[in-house]
Structure 1
Amino acid sequence: MAWFVDLNPIIQALIAGLFTWGVTILGSSLVFFVNEVNDKLLAVMNGFAAGVMIAASFWSLLAPSIDYAQALGYGRGSFIPAAVGFLLGGVVLRLVDRLIPHMHVASNQPEGPDSHWSKTLLLFIAITIHNIPEGLSIGVAFGAAAIASAEGATLAGAVALALGIGLQNFPEGSALSLPIRAGGEDKWRAFHIGQLSAIVEPVAAVLGAWLVLQVTSVLPYALSFAAGAMFFVCIEELIPDSQKSQHSELGTMAFMLGFVVMMTLDVALG
């Protein structure tokens, strides 16, 4: 791994984003082996993904945001960048949800402005929108690790974040491709649509790393912004979807498992 440590942080972020996209590709490939996603599996996948994202948001993003604000001399106000960025992340995702038509996997009701777009396109847009903060958080984490004074933000922690997001991208990829297949699309088209939803992650990762390297003072805000956006996705979509069926208890336990897995990765590696 020495070769990876010596790379430019933007390249590191790109590689990490390509990794998470690759895991999405693997998840989408389940469409060749399984015909549809049942309620039990959907509850487990959404719960696990939410647990990973919530844990990643705290240990890899919010906590380093506060630590870095303290290093910048915010003192007792070190919570301010974390609070402002966190709320702004949620507000931006809310605006995006209101302005762009989309449909969640576990819902049959389109959201956002009225449109005549197909259900397949609406599902694709929903997952793609929510993959952007995941990629952004990866880039910000690697950018933060490259800044020597970024206390609490380490390269190992950034790698753990990428691994955690990759873990939850596997069920996310299948959660998109399988319903599209069940809706009548052929397997190859369903696969391609599912995996393409995560192509934004390496792009957003590069953008996030570049931003914090250009303007280091925005780092605590960027970290907490990514956390707020990820929290919004979890609370607005993943957690409710894990509780909609009669298998809500499985969704809850999967959430707890995902949280522990991500916590373990971050603490052990970071």
Structure 2
Amino acid sequence: MDTPVLHALLGGLFTWGLTAVGAASVFLAQEPSRKLLDGMLGFAAGVMLAASVFSLLLPGMEMAEAQGQNPLVPAVVGFLLGGALLRLLDRFLPHIHLMPEARAEGLPTHWRRTTLLILAITLHNFPEGLAVGVAFGAADLDPTGAASLGAAIALAVGIGLQNLPEGLAVAWPLRRAGVGAGLAFFYGQLSAIVEPLGAVLGALLVGQMMALLPYLMALAAGAMVFVIVEEVIPESQAEGNGDVSTFGVMVGFATMMALDVALG
């Protein structure tokens, strides 16, 4: 296996593993409070937002400039395409969000609510895996030196940290609905199994499309920002814990920014 693909696979497995750790909380005697969960979801949103900027958009703009391109073109075009791609998937893939009283979205289906919930989290996690793969592929293959292995590792660590509350947020509603702890854990970790697949795909795309690398990095950033605004932040504030959620966003952003500076 090529080194960029191997690095991407390991990064994706790491982020999936921390989702599994979060889902494993269903084996605890007591469910974490909603306020704690909302703060953790806010933290996740802050990490994703900072990762989009510092690990994807800015290095992508540096690469474009080193290649003699106008750095704004791939950044803007790729970013908007990433959001548009997620909107299309959101429009057609049947799913349901974690927010109270949320209704099924996408094409009409008779699938169970549990299945729709898992599809929603899967839709959320795929761009994260793609971002990890693109970052590792860029670090290994980019001749301009704008991307670094440390920055890719920082991105994987940051996404892994924000996956902890996601695993918890999937597994515990299932547990409350009467699903056994083992099955709730299985579904919770299953929601992130697409991350290693997305990471490998991202690394392979980089290997085949080096000239489009700044666009790919911006596309991954746009997809993640779409998920943040469309799902994570609204979900974290749906129960009236807006202040806790907002503080979590600030701490998450600062944490990811520090990780990127320290490792990148």
TM-score category by the smaller chain?
Answer: over 0.9
The partner residue of 2:86 within 86, 93, 115 is 93
Which residue identity is paired with 1:57?
S
The partner residue of 1:113 within 86, 91, 107 is 107
The partner residue of 1:230 within 224, 228, 239 is 224
Q: CA deviation at 1:154?
A: 0.3
Would you say how many aligned residue pairs link Structure 1 and Structure 2?
A: 262
- Give the corresponding residue for 2:3: 8
- Say whether the 8 Å CA contact 1:35–1:181 is kept in structure 2: no
1:79 corresponds to 2:99? no
Against the structure 1 CA distance between its residues 126 and 20, is the aligned structure 2 distance closer, same or farther, given a 3 Å change threshold?
same
Q: Distance in 1 between matches of 2:108 and 2:37?
A: 27
The partner residue of 1:70 within 65, 68, 84 is 65
Aligned-CA RMSD value: 1.3
- Say whether the 8 Å CA contact 1:35–1:182 is kept in structure 2: no
Q: CA deviation at 1:116?
A: 1.8
Q: Distance in 2 between matches of 1:34 and 1:221?
A: 46
- Give the corresponding residue for 2:184: 190
- Give the corresponding residue for 2:239: 245
- Give the corresponding residue for 1:3: none
Q: TM-score by structure 2 length? A: 0.96
Q: Distance in 2 between matches of 1:90 and 1:29?
A: 31
Against the structure 1 CA distance between its residues 98 and 66, is the aligned structure 2 distance closer, same or farther, given a 3 Å change threshold?
same
- Say whether the 8 Å CA contact 2:100–2:238 is kept in structure 1: no
- Say whether the 8 Å CA contact 1:28–1:177 is kept in structure 2: yes
- Say whether the 8 Å CA contact 2:40–2:248 is kept in structure 1: yes
- Give the corresponding residue for 1:143: 137
- Give the corresponding residue for 1:152: 146
Q: CA deviation at 1:37?
A: 5.2
**1:100-147 C-alpha deviation (Å, 9 max, x unpaired):** 111111233222222221111111000011110000000000110112
SS in structure 1 at match of 2:110:
coil
- Say whether the 8 Å CA contact 2:94–2:108 is kept in structure 1: yes
Stretches of structure 2 that go unaligned for 5 or more consecutive residues are none
Which residue identity is paired with 1:83?
V
Identity of aligned residues (%): 54
1:133 corresponds to 2:127? yes
- Give the corresponding residue for 2:23: 28
Stretches of structure 1 that go unaligned for 5 or more consecutive residues are 1-6
